[in-house]
């Protein structure tokens, strides 16, 4: 994998770059739609390619390991061929499930043991085993196994958790270097910086991650319960240390304002389920603010969903019609909202890139944050 830094924005740490993988190029900053089990909920791949303009999507190692399973993925020739997606894919290691499924897992030095949420069967994820699983899945970018520390953890827990994550990283990195991809293309491996909200732990983690010289690096354990300003502070602390000539991936973040603030602080890649999850519940993000499509105020509003919007659905459907679909519990409502929100997120990072290159990102971002956080 190759990363070219193409521009920086005066007065900020915002960057525009180009990632090259064997499945295509990715212009940064970029937002990556989440396709946990090999599908982005409610959106087919033609929409992702042609309308939303997604350049890379995510899969989840934990979920894909359980279903459809490694045998099916291997026989299919990897996840790209299984789902019919020809562009880059990134897979999470399953580390977030160590956090989110804490009631059905057990941490130990060897790895994490969990019970399947599908049938209760018992499984062990080790750092080495996760590399092997991600080799079979065949993602262009693989993530290291880590423990995602809760945002409100005390210092002692966070320090112990970071130690485990770092030891796991060293083991996973060794396995990655000892193995090769199975399907004739190269896979990158990103380590993850943890450390909760404690600057000294984040610095320790960032130095350790940077020392490996990986193709890219990730920032994890944020947007998991800590105050927003703490999240921004930790991004700044980490990006002061992570190498500038490698892409930086902020995991699981976030709102449109979060994304703009992260870009401002030197983040290149982001993902979040918010566009589709919130969309399915009637929340639409637009360049002028947030709309709750269940509100009665839209019942007789026959204007386009968003004038000049980023998606084809914005001009085809009216606010009144989309509200009608939501209050009628029609599946089409969730599909329209998901397409709209994803297209908006991709538009937003695309506009950020244009303004970084033009040199006026700082003033544009300040205005845009105010606009996208307003309620319509």
Residues with active-site annotation: 92, 271
The residues near 216 (Cβ < 8 Å, ≥ 6 apart) are 1, 3, 19, 141, 188, 190, 246, 247, 248, 249, 269
Contacts 24+ apart (CB under 8 A), 309-316: 309/340, 309/343, 309/344, 310/340, 310/343, 310/344, 310/346, 310/347, 311/51, 311/52, 311/339, 311/340, 311/342, 311/343, 311/344, 312/51, 313/339, 313/340, 313/343, 314/340, 314/343
C-alpha 202/C-alpha 272 separation (Å) is 22
What is the gyration radius of the CA atoms in the chain, in angstroms? Answer: 20
Contact between residue 56 and residue 49 where contact means Cβ atoms under 8 Å apart: no
Q: What is the dihedral of CA 305, 310, 315, 316, to 10 degrees?
A: -100
Contact between residue 253 and residue 223 where contact means Cβ atoms under 8 Å apart: yes
Contact between residue 253 and residue 337 where contact means Cβ atoms under 8 Å apart: no
- Torsion over CA: 334, 339, 344, 349 (sign): positive
Name the token pair of 332.
Answer: 């089409």
Closest CA to 148 of 105, 187, 179: 105
C-alpha 291/C-alpha 57 separation (Å) is 26
**DSSP run (H or E) holding 201:** helix 199-212
């Amino acid at each position: 994998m190759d990363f070219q830094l193409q521009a920086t924005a005066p007065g900020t740490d915002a960057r525009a770059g180009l990632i090259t993988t064997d499945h295509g190029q990715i212009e940064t900053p970029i937002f990556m739609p989440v396709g946990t089990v090999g599908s982005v909920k409610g959106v087919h791949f033609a929409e992702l390619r042609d309308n939303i303009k997604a350049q890379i999507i995510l899969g989840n190692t934990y979920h894909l390991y359980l279903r459809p399973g490694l045998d099916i993925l291997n026989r299919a020739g990897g996840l790209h061929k299984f789902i019919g997606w020809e562009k880059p894919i990134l897979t999470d290691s399953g580390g977030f499930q160590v956090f989110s499924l804490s009631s059905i897992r057990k941490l130990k030095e060897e790895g994490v043991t969990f019970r399947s949420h599908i049938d209760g069967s018992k499984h062990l994820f080790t750092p080495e085993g996760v590399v092997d699983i991600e080799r079979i899945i065949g993602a262009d970018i693989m993530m290291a196994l880590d423990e995602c520390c809760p945002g409100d953890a005390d210092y002692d827990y966070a320090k112990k958790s970071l130690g485990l994550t770092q030891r796991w990283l060293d083991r996973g990195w060794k396995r990655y270097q000892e193995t090769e991809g199975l399907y004739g293309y190269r896979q990158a491996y990103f380590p993850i910086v943890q450390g909760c909200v404690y600057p000294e732990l984040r610095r320790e983690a960032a130095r350790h991650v940077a020392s490996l010289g990986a193709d890219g690096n990730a920032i994890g354990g944020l947007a998991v319960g800590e105050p927003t300003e703490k999240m921004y502070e930790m991004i700044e602390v980490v990006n002061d240390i992570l190498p500038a000539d490698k892409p930086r991936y902020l995991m699981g973040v976030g709102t449109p304002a979060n994304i703009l603030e992260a870009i401002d602080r030197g983040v290149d890649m982001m993902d979040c389920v918010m566009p589709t999850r919130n969309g399915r519940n009637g929340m639409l993000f637009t360049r002028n603010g947030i709309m709750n499509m269940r509100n009665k105020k839209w019942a007789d509003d026959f204007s386009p969903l968003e004038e000049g919007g980023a998606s084809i659905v914005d001009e085809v459907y009216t606010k009144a019609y989309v509200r009608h679909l939501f209050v009628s519990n029609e599946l089409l409502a969730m599909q329209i909202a998901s397409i709209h929100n994803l297209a908006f997120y991709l538009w937003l990072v695309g506009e950020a890139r244009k303004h970084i290159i033009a040199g006026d990102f700082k003033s544009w971002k300040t205005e845009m944050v105010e606009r996208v956080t307003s309620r319509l």
